[in-house]
Amino acid sequence: MKLLWKPFLLLSVMECLTDCLDYKSFHGPKWRMEPSDLILPVGLPEEEATLTCDAKGFPAPQYRWSLNGTLIDLRADNRRRLSGGNLVIRNLDLAEDAGIYQCTAFSSLGAILSRRASLQFAYLNFKTQTRSAVSVRQGQGVVLLCGTPIYAGELHFAWVFNEYPYFVQQDSRRFVSQETGNLYIAKVEPSDVGNYTCVVVNRITKVKMLSSPTPLVLRTDGVMGEYEPKIEVHFPDMVPAAKGSIVILECFALGNPVPEITWRRANGVPFPNKVKMKNSNVVLEIPSFQQEDAGGYECVAENKMGRNTVKGRLAFHAKPQWVQTMHDSALSIDERLFWECKANGKPKPSYSWLKNGELLNTEDRIHIEDGALTVASVNMSDTGMYQCVAENKHGIIYFSAELVVLASPPDFSRSQVRALLKAKTGSTVTMECRPQAYPPPITSWRKGSEQLQSTERISLLSDGTVRIINVTKTDVGSYTCLARNQFGMASTTRRLLVTDPTRITQGPVDMEIIVGESIVLPCQIACDASLDVSFSWAFNGQLLNKLDPHYEHVGGGVAGDLMIRNVQLKHAGKYVCVIDTDVESLSAAAILIVKGPPGAPDDVTVEEITDSTAQLSWRPGQDNGSPILSYIIQTKTTFTVGWQAVNTVPEVIDGNTLTATVVDLNAWVEYEFRVLARNSVGVGEPSPASLKTRTEDGVPDTAPANVGGGGGSKSELVITWEPVPEELQNGDGFGYIIALRLLGELTWTHVVTSAPGRYVYRNESIAPFSPFAVKVGAYNVKGQGPFSPVTTVFSAEEEPSRMPGGVWARSISDTEFEVGWQTLSDSPERVLGYEVMYWEDDTKPETMGKVRVSANQYTVNISGLKGYTQYFLTVSSFNTAGTGPHTPTINITTKKSPPGQPPVNVEWNLIGSKLTVHWDPVITMEMESEVTGYKVSYTRNRHTEINTVTTNVTFVELILPADDNYIIQICALSDSGDGMPTEPINIHKLSMSVRGSRAWHPTTIPLPLLFIIALTAMRPNL
């Protein structure tokens, strides 16, 4: 029978699927926030209550609310309004607003119900009336009643003693029950007499109310005797306790003496650590109550008069909690839906199902059993929002899921396939036909215009796929898939092209290479021209990083060679060239062995050490592709610069040897050792240094060097030597032994010192400049070492006792004078040389100078002096002991400086080869020497020979060959030397038989010089 509703429903659903929804997407309402229970104080002015409700979905959901199962008409309610999905209630009213609220979110795709939330109001009413006094005997127990308040919300009780705020302090004798509010005193004492007021506080509203005072007085007819405990506060026989809640049990007894309270479980199991005892064990608190906490509990009150026990049970209960839920589902029309949800809880929950907020019942296609929902054959009307509901007497929970029912004709637009399919000869080809269609379509295939049939090589699979094995060129052609269901038909066509197999004509081969070299790994193929080809390389199973500068892909077309530049050890491994075409993948592999210097040895250990040897062991490093041929050992100390090679036994350590002895070490020196390996490629990196190890101490084996000395003071023998370096001292307690004796004597005198490099031997009997035989040795705590070779050292000599004679001095120039004297040929003391001291002024030590010369000199020139200045001088002889007596002081004055001005107004006249030159006289200043004449210097162009002519007049005549150019300069002469010359005058050969002049114009002329020139110019007129 044909269903008439299907075409119309299908049109609307398909429009929605196309225009509104993505394929198999779910947009029905989903909770983001559901309402929570609220408890508010009564009577707060302008108070608003907000119950939250927020859901997501497309289109955006709308909201409605119900109170105690009745829909709230918000249009007719001026106190309630929606804010988004939240319900806002103002001017709260206990009678009208308290109850159970539930939010519904709905859209065109369905509706869902929220969890249920209660709105409660907290309040406190406490009637007070005058209370009679309570009269008890001393030692008797008493209960003071608080009264029964009318309230909603959690209460807290306390008692005031006599006046506020002096509260009763609870202890083992006094207890305030938070269940009854009463005050219990186990044993009354005289200090308890007074007025007691019960204080009740509502924890929600913070309202506090007080009862009328209750007087407590002592009776005068005697004291209460001792009696056994009487339990006044205890828990019920059965206490329901919710999962996760805090359970509090109270137990308090009256008695004399004051009873002691203890707790135990009926099954004898100890209390877990979370259980707390408070107020002298009167209160038992169990946080986060769980199933294992349920069972029997006993409270025992005991004193010396007896004991009493109360028992009760904690019954566990829990509201439902989900353990299995369903998921959103998208099904084709006529498919079967099965959803199942499960929840735990105590008592066991019951289940129901909602569709779009309405109860769902079992009917023709729909079956509900416990938490399972089955729809035998879904249709479009089943689309919507479903909720599984689990409920017991302690709570109700909801879980939502969306069902989308799909119905559409075949559509290939979402499963695009390549129009051209390539395959190599002999391979297997698979062509899928999987359009989007609900319900799944029936498919068929055509090759060209002919219906495709199954054969030995061609298989038509049930899911619409065609598989052709061992394809040949005869299989080339166009293949069309036709798909149809009750809603329509569609087709798709692709073309199959069969190609020849691809071949690798040259692939990479295993190779060996040295670190630092470059290499090309070939990868070349022959393939069908219609194929697209790509090359890639893998190294040790990972694709090569194209950004690595060591790698470069070279070639093109049918070549995908790989160049590796500057090969390193890390490049050793397996290289695979992968060739991908449209129809197949091929690969060729090769192993690249990279040889390099060996890796660093490791774990260098000093096995044994003496004063001069160290036995080492080590572990080899990587050979890096080339066997290790030998090892090299190096050492470092604080006395060496860097690492040094050492001698070893064996002298050559072959690559199979992992131990060696280092020899020729210095005693008592801290060494570090490292090992390097060598192979055919080179020497590798050094090992980490060994731990610092000190050689054993030993007797010094190095004698001090360069022993000498001499000088010093009277009766002294100064001995010097080059100290033994610390690394050669061979141990602690190092010092020197000095042996000395006069030449010709047989007995040595020994002296010990720790001073390095110099020792002064003093003895009044030592004659001046006496020769001594001296040798120096070394010692330490281990003993005495060798002595140096014997050398001759002279004792201190006496300074000369005589002075030189015939001292004279003469001035040479303005900056220099010469000093002379007679040498001492018969001095009883040794004379090493002579010293000249000179100075300007005795009061100015900074003007003093000294010059020393050897004993065979009897004159010396002293330079660097001031011009026209008087100097004082004296001469003495000297030796290593000092200087002798000074000669009497003489004085000498340096000459004035040479003329400081060059000749001016130079004129010259050249006729033929005769050159006549005239100039003005040079006028000297006061501190300059007088002019004694003039010097004319001339030189031929490009010649080095200088010719000079002197004259005592202010002109000169020169005969010059006429075949060259000349340069002439003129200067004044004086006792102090040559004055300032003129600037060079150039006389050219082409200017023969001409006259010329050159005037000199000083940039700065001192005022005295101008004055002298002026007087000279006026002199002829005077």
Q: In whole angstroms, give the CA distance from residue 412 to residue 482.
A: 10
Residue 206 CA neighbour count, 13 Å, CB half: 1
Phi and psi at 902, nearest 5°, equal -80, 165
Q: Is residue 298 within 8 Å of residue 404, measured between CB atoms?
A: no
Q: Is residue 314 within 8 Å of residue 267, measured between CB atoms?
A: no
Asked whether residue 788 is assigned to any structural domain, the reply reads no
Q: What sign has the CA pseudo-torsion 641, 644, 647, 650? A: positive
DSSP 721-733: EEPPPGGGS-SSS
Range list of β-strands (E), 804-961:
805-811, 817-822, 833-839, 849-854, 859-862, 870-879, 882-883, 890-893, 906-911, 914-918, 933-940, 947-951, 955-959
* Residue 817 structural domain: 805-893
151 and 113 within one domain: no
Residue type at 517 in one-letter notation: E
Identify the pLDDT of residue 135. Answer: 93
Q: In whole angstroms, give the CA distance from residue 569 to residue 571.
A: 5
Asked whether residue 178 is assigned to any structural domain, the reply reads yes
164 and 66 within one domain: no
Q: In whole angstroms, give the CA distance from residue 804 to residue 890.
A: 13
Structure tokens at 413: 């637009």
Structure tokens at 463: 């899911």
Strand, coil or helix: 990: helix
Whether the predicted model's global pTM rises above the 0.95 cut: no
CATH number at residue 259: 2.60.40.10
Q: In whole angstroms, give the CA distance from residue 930 to residue 975.
A: 8
Tell me the pLDDT tens digit for each residue of 947-962: 899 999 999 988 887 6
Phi and psi at 293, nearest 5°, equal -85, -10
Q: In whole angstroms, give the CA distance from residue 354 to residue 41.
A: 35
DSSP H or E run through 18: helix 5-19
100 and 165 within one domain: no
Q: In whole angstroms, give the CA distance from residue 578 to residue 872.
A: 103
Phi and psi at 193, nearest 5°, equal -65, 130
Identify the pLDDT of residue 375. Answer: 95
Asked whether residue 900 is assigned to any structural domain, the reply reads no
If we measure between CA atoms, which residue out of 14, 83, 137, 719 comes closest to residue 436? 14
Structure tokens at 1005: 């002329």
857 and 829 within one domain: yes
Q: In whole angstroms, give the CA distance from residue 125 to residue 385.
A: 47
If we measure between CA atoms, which residue out of 818, 820, 816, 819 comes closest to residue 867? 816
Tell me the pLDDT tens digit for each residue of 538-593: 999 999 987 889 999 888 788 899 999 999 989 999 999 999 988 889 999 999 99
Strand, coil or helix: 76: helix
Contacts of 27 (CB under 8 A, 6+ apart): 20, 21, 57, 58, 59, 109, 402
856 and 878 within one domain: yes
232 and 191 within one domain: no
Identify the pLDDT of residue 753. Answer: 94
Q: Which of 848, 869, 893 is the last residue of a domain?
A: 893
Q: How many CB atoms lie within 10 A of CB 429?
A: 21
Asked whether residue 48 is assigned to any structural domain, the reply reads yes
Q: In whole angstroms, give the CA distance from residue 839 to residue 850.
A: 9
Contacts of 495 (CB under 8 A, 6+ apart): 419, 420, 421, 477, 478, 479
Q: In whole angstroms, give the CA distance from residue 55 to residue 473.
A: 61
Asked whether residue 655 is assigned to any structural domain, the reply reads yes
Place of tokens 């119905």: 407
Q: Which of 751, 783, 815 is the last residue of a domain?
A: 783
914 and 883 within one domain: no
Q: In whole angstroms, give the CA distance from residue 632 to residue 675.
A: 6
997 and 936 within one domain: yes
Q: Which of 694, 727, 746 is the last residue of a domain?
A: 694
Q: What is the CA radius of gyration of the chain?
A: 62
579 and 523 within one domain: yes
If we measure between CA atoms, which residue out of 905, 908, 903, 901 comes closest to residue 956? 908
Asked whether residue 678 is assigned to any structural domain, the reply reads yes
pLDDT < 70 regions, the chain: 1-24, 45-46, 962, 989-1022
Peptide bond into 650 cis (omega under 30): yes
Structure tokens at 815: 């900056």
Asked whether residue 250 is assigned to any structural domain, the reply reads yes
**Parallel, antiparallel or unpaired: strands 117-125 and 38-41:** parallel
1012 and 916 within one domain: yes
How many structural domains are present in the chain?
Answer: 10
Identify the pLDDT of residue 1004. Answer: 37
527 and 434 within one domain: no
Range list of β-strands (E), 439-550:
442-447, 450-451, 458-460, 466-468, 477-485, 488-499, 503-506, 511-514, 519-521, 524-526, 534-539, 542-543
Asked whether residue 611 is assigned to any structural domain, the reply reads yes
Peptide bond into 347 cis (omega under 30): yes
914 and 1000 within one domain: yes
Q: Is residue 450 within 8 Å of residue 431, measured between CB atoms?
A: no
